[in-house]
Amino acid sequence: MAAIDWHFTHWMAKPVAFVSYGGMSGGRHAVLHLENVLSELHAVTSRHGRGLPVTPL
């Protein structure tokens, strides 16, 4: 988070896509948080997400 906040001018009008791992247990929650942060920095966030499910070993 600190790196995103520190370089906030680099995110303006940049397209951003997310890939998460962990399903709703963690990955999707992290993406939702980052979407909010980056949209406040005027980055263009993708509304289409791709998640990788957790598979048991």
Give the number of other Cβ atoms within 10 Å of residue 36's Cβ.
10
State residue 50's pLDDT score: 63
Give residue 4's pLDDT band: very low, low, confident or very high (50, 70, 90). confident
State residue 24's pLDDT score: 65
Give residue 23's pLDDT band: very low, low, confident or very high (50, 70, 90). low
The whole-number average pLDDT for the span 19-40 is: 80
Interatomic CA distance for residues 54 and 15, integer angstroms: 27
State residue 17's pLDDT score: 85
Domain ranges in the chain are: 2-52
Of residues 19, 15, 16, 12, the one with CA closest to residue 40: 12
Contact 21, 55 (CB under 8 A): no
